[in-house]
Structure 1
Amino acid sequence: MAPAELRERRWRLVVSGFADAATNMAVDEAIQTVHARGEVPPTLRLYGWRPAAVSIGYFQRMAAEVDLDACRRLGYGYVRRPTGGRAIFHHVELTYSVVIREELLPGSVLETYRTLAGGLVAAIRRLGAPAELAGGEPDPRLGGEASAACFDAPSAYELVVGGRKVVGSAQTRRHGTILQHGSVLLDLDAELLFTLLRVDPEKRPAAVAHLRSRAAGLRELLGREVTWDEAARALPEGFTEALGVEFVRGELTPAERRLTEELVTTRYGTDAWNLRR
Structure 2
Amino acid sequence: MKSQAISVYRSLLGSPAEDLAFEEQMLKMAAEGKSSLFIYSWKTPALVLGIAQKPETVALESCATLGIPVIKRLTGGTGVLSQNDLAVTLALPDSHPYAKTIAGLYEHFLRPIKAALNDLGVDVQKPVFEAPVFEEPAGEKSASARMKRSPLCFEDIRNETFLSDGKKCVGCAQARRRGAVLIHGSLLLDLKAELTAKCFGMPQSRIEKALAGIPLLPQVLAPALEQAMLQYFS
Q: TM-score of the superposition, structure 1-length normalised?
A: 0.72
Measured in 2, the distance between the counterparts of 1:186 and 1:169 equals 15
The Cα shift of 1:16 comes to 2.4
1:213 aligns with 2:209: yes
Cα pair 1:45 1:97 within 8 Å, conserved: yes
1:54 aligns with 2:43: no
Measured in 1, the distance between the counterparts of 2:160 and 2:129 equals 6
1:25-174 equivalence runs, <5 A: 25-38=20-33, 41-62=34-55, 64-104=56-96, 105-134=98-127, 137-138=130-131, 147-174=150-177
The Cα shift of 1:73 comes to 2.3
Measured in 1, the distance between the counterparts of 2:68 and 2:53 equals 19
Cα pair 2:59 2:199 within 8 Å, conserved: yes
Aligned length: 220
Give the 3-state SS of the residue equivalent to 1:60 in structure 2.
coil
Measured in 2, the distance between the counterparts of 1:92 and 1:15 equals 14
Matched AA of 1:161: S
Percent identity between the two aligned chains:
27
Q: Cα distance 1:178–1:135, how it changes in 2: closer, same or farther (>3 A)?
A: farther
Measured in 1, the distance between the counterparts of 2:76 and 2:28 equals 18
Cα pair 1:52 1:90 within 8 Å, conserved: yes
Tell me which moved more, 18-27 or 92-101: 18-27
Higher relative contact order (CA 8 A, sep 6+): 1
Cα pair 1:136 1:157 within 8 Å, conserved: no
Structure 2 unmatched runs, 5+: 136-148
The Cα shift of 1:169 comes to 1.1
1:193 corresponds, among 192, 196, 202, to 196
1:18 aligns with 2:10: no
Give the 3-state SS of the residue equivalent to 1:92 in structure 2.
coil
Any idea what the Cα deviations from partners look like across 1:27-59, whole Å, max 9, x if unmatched?
Answer: 001111022123xx3111011224210011111
Give the 3-state SS of the residue equivalent to 1:49 in structure 2.
coil
Q: Cα distance 1:106–1:181, how it changes in 2: closer, same or farther (>3 A)?
A: closer
Measured in 1, the distance between the counterparts of 2:185 and 2:59 equals 22
Cα pair 1:151 1:168 within 8 Å, conserved: yes
Matched AA of 1:8: S
1:235 aligns with 2:225: yes
Measured in 2, the distance between the counterparts of 1:10 and 1:214 equals 38
Any idea what the Cα deviations from partners look like across 1:209-251, whole Å, max 9, x if unmatched?
Answer: 23322220012xxxxxx2111010121232245x2x45xxxxx
Measured in 2, the distance between the counterparts of 1:84 and 1:210 equals 23
1:180 aligns with 2:170: no
Measured in 1, the distance between the counterparts of 2:179 and 2:120 equals 34
The Cα shift of 1:95 comes to 1.0
Structure 1 unmatched runs, 5+: 1-5, 220-225, 247-277
Q: Cα distance 1:128–1:149, how it changes in 2: closer, same or farther (>3 A)?
A: same
1:241-256 equivalence runs, <5 A: 243=232, 245-246=233-234
Give the 3-state SS of the residue equivalent to 2:12 in structure 1.
strand
Cα pair 1:126 1:238 within 8 Å, conserved: no
Q: Please, what is the CA RMSD of the aligned residues? A: 2.2
Measured in 2, the distance between the counterparts of 1:58 and 1:18 equals 24
Q: Cα distance 1:9–1:135, how it changes in 2: closer, same or farther (>3 A)?
A: farther
Give the 3-state SS of the residue equivalent to 1:151 in structure 2.
helix
